Amino acid sequence: MDRGRERRPVWVGVATLVVLAAAWYALTTLTHAIGSGRFPSPAEAWEALRQITLTGYADARLLEHVLHSVKLVLLGFAAATLIGVPLGLAMGASRAFEAFVNPTFLLLRPIPPLAWIPLAIVWLGLGDAAKVLIIWFAAFVPAVINSYSGVRAIEPYLVEAARMLGAQRAMFVREVLIPGAMPMIFTGLRLSLQACWTTLVAGELIGAIAGLGHVLYQASLDIFPAMIVVGMASVAVTAAVMTVGLGWIERRAMPWRRA
Amino acid sequence: MSATATSRELSLPRWLALSIAGFVAFFGVWWAAAASGFVAPQFLPTPLAVLERFVALTQAPFVGYTLQQHLASSFGRFALGFGLAVIIGVPLGLLMGWFRTLDAIVSPLFDALRFVAPIAWVPFAALWFGTGIGGPVLIIFSGAFPPCVINAYRGAKYVEPRFIEAAQTLGASHFRMITEVLLPASVPSIVAGVRISAGLGWQSLVGAELIVASSGIGYLLVKGQANISTAIVMSGMIAIGIVGFAIDALLRRLEQRINRRRGL
Q: What is the DSSP string of B141-158?
A: HHHHHHHHHHHHHHHHHT
Q: Which domains does chain A have, with CATH numbers?
A: 42-257 (1.10.3720.10)
Q: In this structure, which amino acid lies at residue A23?
A: A
Give per-residue burial for B115-149: e unless 16+ CB within 10 Å, then b. bbbbbbbbbbbbbebebebbbbbbbbbbbbbbbbb
The pLDDT tens digits along chain A (259 residues) read 344 445 556 777 788 888 888 888 888 888 877 777 788 888 888 888 888 888 888 888 888 999 999 999 999 999 999 999 999 999 988 888 888 888 888 888 888 888 999 999 888 888 889 999 999 988 898 889 888 888 888 888 888 888 888 878 888 888 888 888 888 888 888 888 888 988 888 888 887 888 898 999 898 888 888 899 999 999 999 988 998 898 888 888 888 775 4
Domain match, B30 and B154 both: no
pLDDT in tens, B75-104: 999 999 999 999 999 999 999 988 888 888
Interchain contact, B237 vs A116, CB within 8 Å: yes
- Rounded to 5°, the CA angle A130-A132-A138 comes to 105
Interchain contact, A5 vs B157, CB within 8 Å: yes
Domain match, B199 and B68 both: yes
Residue in chain A nearest B227 by alpha carbon: A122
The chain-wide mean pLDDT, for chain B, equals 86
Domain match, B120 and B150 both: yes
Domain match, B25 and B137 both: no
Contact between residue B101 and residue A8 where contact means Cβ atoms under 8 Å apart: no
pLDDT at B263: 67
> Which one, of B120, B110, B208, lies nearest residue B153 by Cα?
B110
Domain match, B71 and B152 both: yes
In a domain, B49, yes or no: no
Domain match, B171 and B257 both: yes
In a domain, B33, yes or no: yes
Q: Which residues contact A178 (CB under 8 A, 6 or more apart)?
A: A89
In a domain, B44, yes or no: no
Contact between residue A171 and residue A25 where contact means Cβ atoms under 8 Å apart: no
Interchain contact, A156 vs B5, CB within 8 Å: yes
Interchain contact, A119 vs B241, CB within 8 Å: no
In a domain, B236, yes or no: yes
Residue in chain A nearest B108 by alpha carbon: A13
In a domain, B19, yes or no: yes
Interchain contact, A16 vs B104, CB within 8 Å: yes
A3 touches chain B (CB under 8 A): yes
In a domain, B20, yes or no: yes
B127 vs A20, A220, A240: nearest CB? A220
Residues of A in contact with B21 (CB under 8 A): 100
Q: In this structure, which amino acid lies at residue B225?
A: Q
Domain match, B15 and B98 both: no
Q: How far apart are CA A78 and CA A59, in angstroms?
A: 28
Q: How far apart are CA A165 and CA B73, in angstroms?
A: 61
Domain match, B218 and B252 both: yes
Domain match, B18 and B111 both: no
Interchain contact, B4 vs A152, CB within 8 Å: yes
pLDDT at B5: 42
Interchain contact, A8 vs B15, CB within 8 Å: no
CATH of the domain at B96: 1.10.3720.10
Q: Please name every residue paired with B126 in a beta bridge, in sequence order, or none if there are none.
A: none
Other CB atoms within a 10 A radius of the CB of residue A60 amount to 18
The minimum CA-CA distance between B215 and chain A, rounded to whole Å, is 15
In a domain, B209, yes or no: yes
Q: Please name every residue paired with A216 in a beta bridge, in sequence order, or none if there are none.
A: none
Residues of A in contact with B154 (CB under 8 A): 3
Domain match, B252 and B196 both: yes
Environment class of residue A125 by beta-carbon count within 10 Å: exposed (0-12), middle (13-18) or buried (19+)?
Answer: exposed
Domain match, B62 and B121 both: yes
Q: Which residues contact B127 (CB under 8 A, 6 or more apart)?
A: A38, A220, A223, A225, A228
> In order along chain B (264 residues), what is the average pLDDT of each group of 10 residues?
52 88 90 83 86 89 87 92 95 91 83 83 85 83 92 89 87 86 88 91 89 85 88 92 92 88 71
Q: How far apart are CA A197 and CA B142, in angstroms?
A: 16
A23 touches chain B (CB under 8 A): no
**Host domain of residue B107:** 55-261
In a domain, B62, yes or no: yes
Q: Say if the ipTM goes beyond 0.95.
A: no
Interchain contact, B10 vs A20, CB within 8 Å: no
Q: How far apart are CA B63 and CA B214, in angstroms?
A: 9
Q: Please count the structural domains in chain B.
A: 2
* CB proximity under 8 Å: A 65-104 to B: 92-96, 99-104
The minimum CA-CA distance between A200 and chain B, rounded to whole Å, is 10
Domain match, B134 and B174 both: yes
